[in-house]
Copies of this chain bind each other. A is one copy, B any other.
């Protein structure tokens, strides 16, 4: 399986105590004042020209089609989320304040409004690895299906098609066998077996030619079996097992991502509470300053700093998991893409073998008539009569008049 060389990722800078104070004081505008992480799994550093490399520069698709695309994802998300407050797969949350990212089904995408440039990993290739990042809402049910699962379904269907083609060839083989059996049987018929002479020889050959035709069709059917049906059936015998492995691998990563996302949301809430408490205690201090209050503020600031550190760790873990999922998505979908190309080539090759065998069958069939034509050209009523008269004649002496 193709392994991807993933770019080195710049780690998030850990929060300093005073930074935490700042956070504590002005956490409302925190998102705008902080320095954002520059790199993301979707914006790798090394180019993809072959299957196992990634592009340097960010490409950019017309933001129109882009925002449209995100819009549909968003719609799907809106419909599926029964309770926008509770995070997790199937009921994702979206943070509405002016951020540059948007999280759908626990996967974080760049925000449509502040879209960074993105170049396709494999430009002009319509590669699986470029078009299945979002989940898709199922037509009737409220659930969504992962982009990766759509590719898996395609693979399993392909395997099924190949199996059905083998079945079809099997049916054709049966038809040829029956046809050959009937021709061989008829060629043994005694009908007109008593015809004599050159005509008799021609007729015998007509009958024999049916046995030859039968041979040709039997050969066709047995070659169909060994050169078309069997290869189609035996190609990738434990394919479904392999697909299951891919499926489990990727969906496990998605589950892990959901768990990490839930942890981030929890840490975010906790930090918010700590910050509220610190603010309240700081206001108390302005009214009447006592030693007791000073202590409370110190304590609240420590707890707030701790909550900040927790959130930072959770976000870092989440990003690591998402990055791992991204990596596996690219390598696995590229592998599935390779397998599909292989399948189509294999089937094409064996259908060509089928037409080749059909062609040969017609050619061989031609040759079964030639000896008949040859003998028919030799048919001669006079020599047939000579043959028959020689063995059947009763007497050539003609009668004469009787005498007195």
Contact = CB atoms under 8 A, between A and B. Distances in A.
A247 interface: no
Contact of A131 (B318, B362, B395): B395
B192 A400 contact: no
Interface stretch (A82-90, A234-242, A284-292, A353-361): A353-361
Chief secondary structure at chain A's binding surface: helix
A70 interface: yes
B199 A126 contact: no
Given A191-B168, A348-B202, A381-B344, A108 B400 contact: yes
Interface in A363-404: 363, 365-366, 369, 372-373, 376, 379, 381-382, 384-386, 388-390, 392-404
B390 A126 contact: yes
A312 B109 contact: no
Contact of A206 (B99, B354, B396): B354
A359 B157 CA distance: 42
Contacts of A108: 399-402
Contacts of A397: 42, 66, 69-70, 109-110, 118, 133-134
A99 B30 contact: no
A150 interface: yes
B126 A399 contact: no
A80 interface: no
Nearest to A271: B404
A351 interface: yes
A175 B182 contact: yes
Contacts of A183: 175
12 contacts: A40-B400, A69-B397, A118-B397, A126-B389, A130-B396, A161-B203, A168-B191, A168-B192, A175-B182, A202-B351, A341-B381, A352-B373
Given A110-B397, A322-B399, 16 more contacts: A40-B401, A69-B395, A73-B395, A109-B397, A118-B397, A118-B398, A125-B382, A133-B399, A161-B192, A164-B191, A165-B203, A199-B344, A322-B402, A323-B401, A340-B381, A351-B376
